[in-house]
A and B are shown apart, each in its own frame.
Chain A
Amino acid sequence: MSHDSALAIQAWALPVVKPLSELNDSELVGVAARGDREAFDVLVERHRRTVYQVCYRFVNNHEDASDLAQDAFVRAWKGLKNFKGHSALSTWLYRIAVNVCLNRVSARTPAMEPIDSTDHVADLRIEGAQHAMIREERAAAVRKAIASLPDKQRATLILRTYHDMSHQQIADVLGSSVGAVKANFFHALNNLKKILGTEP
């Protein structure tokens, strides 16, 4: 029995004496799995940003990303009793988010935010305005290029680059082999290089 699953089992038996915000993820999962909505609210609060970011990388726009992230959390709530604690909760949530995104994205072409979006230039006060603008334009171009990659390549690139998941973990999430993950990562980078090389 893994350490995580042992904690999860303990959490079932433990009386909740600490505030929910002080419980770790495994303990919160145990409490939430008994139907405690407040415990799940705390989990949402802890992981909403990263789940949203996974979704955003897939669709490259805020509206769809927030819808997908919401859907991922609803599915997580419904499947909470199936979470055995074999992996970190964040990994499990990524898996759900990626599956939600793959299902949704394959059903329709992702909408894109304009490359010259200037909504997110918080660094303007720190860096020179011109430098920050160029950097933001480049980031927007990269995000757009990533969102245009084939599904598996995109998922692999996102999980490996931004969420530091191992090849094996990504293989588990995508239901493929480590070799396939490496191949997808290679093709993702190659395609990204081509797209960014041809676009201004």
Chain B
Amino acid sequence: MNHLTPDELIDAVESMLAPGRQAHLATCEVCQRELAGLSSVLNDAKQASVPEPSPLFWPHFSERVHTAIDQDAAPGGNWPAWMRWQVLAPLGVVAMIILGLLIAVPKQDPADQSLALQAPEALQAPENWAMVTELVGSIDLDTASAAGVIEPGVAERAVLHLTAEEQQELTRLLKAELQRAKS
């Protein structure tokens, strides 16, 4: 025997039970007891009215609603709390300081960059290169290294980066220099 489901019991409480199930309810004491219990507690609930507030409460309530809406509609009323001027003003000051610093700090002059790019070309002129050679010609490797002009080991690293042809030319020059020293 299928007893009434919770849905059907609610239908029965509300006098909307399907006729087919009504026949079961008429003969089933378990379902009748269940229905009686639910109906009784529902009846209790219906009789439990809400206590009526003082008559003075209602005008006061309307006034409260009116005031609350006024406050909500006040300028800034719909803005999130963090977007109030007390928060935004210090943030604005910080932003101004950062902007000022960005403007005040000097940038690298583009003219300097053009000079740096032009320098190798300038040295390609024979007379300029001769002047440089004359200036550094008397400085040996140890002196240059001690003066910080070149780092120790830089010559060895430079040789490693020469092409095969350059290394042959270097060998030829060194041999010629040795020959000249012997003679």
A190 and B38 contacting across the interface, CB-CB below 8 Å: yes
Contacts A53-B50, A193-B38 given; indicate if A48 touches B62 (C-beta within 8 A): yes
Question: Which residues of A have CB within 8 Å of B42?
Answer: 161, 189
Question: Which residues of B have CB within 8 Å of A48?
Answer: 58, 61-62, 65
B48 and A139 contacting across the interface, CB-CB below 8 Å: yes
B92 within 8 Å of A by Cβ? Answer: no
Q: Which of A71, A142, A143, A179 makes the CB contact (< 8 A) with B7?
A: A179
A37 within 8 Å of B by Cβ? Answer: yes
B69 and A77 contacting across the interface, CB-CB below 8 Å: yes
**In the bound complex, CA of A37 to CA of B66 (Å):** 8
Interface size on B, residues (CB 8 A): 31
Mask of B24-60 contacts with A, CB within 8 angstroms, 1/0: 0000000000000110111011111111110001100
**In the bound complex, CA of A84 to CA of B68 (Å):** 24
Chain B proximity of A187: nearest CB distance (Å) = 8
B17 within 8 Å of A by Cβ? Answer: no
Please provide the chain A residues from 48 to 62 with a CB less than 8 Å away from any CB of chain B in the complex.
48-49, 52-53, 56-57, 62
B6 within 8 Å of A by Cβ? Answer: yes
Question: What is the chain A residue whose CB lies nearest that of B47?
Answer: A139
Chain A interface, DSSP helix/strand/loop, else mixed:
helix
**In the bound complex, CA of A142 to CA of B48 (Å):** 6
B62 and A41 contacting across the interface, CB-CB below 8 Å: yes
Q: Which of A74, A120, A139, A193 makes the CB contact (< 8 A) with B65?
A: A74
A45 and B10 contacting across the interface, CB-CB below 8 Å: no
Which one of A48, A142, A189 has the greatest number of beta carbons of chain B within 10 Å? A189
**In the bound complex, CA of A77 to CA of B64 (Å):** 14
Report, nearest first, the 10 A-B pairs whose CB atoms are least far apart: A120-B51, A142-B48, A186-B6, A139-B48, A193-B41, A73-B65, A53-B50, A56-B50, A182-B7, A182-B10
B residues sitting closer than 8 Å to A (CB atoms) are 6-7, 9-11, 13, 37-38, 40-42, 44-53, 57-58, 61-62, 64-66, 68-69, 72
Sample (13) of A-B pairs whose CB atoms are under 8 Å apart: A41-B66, A56-B50, A56-B51, A62-B51, A69-B61, A73-B65, A77-B72, A122-B52, A142-B48, A161-B42, A161-B45, A190-B38, A193-B37
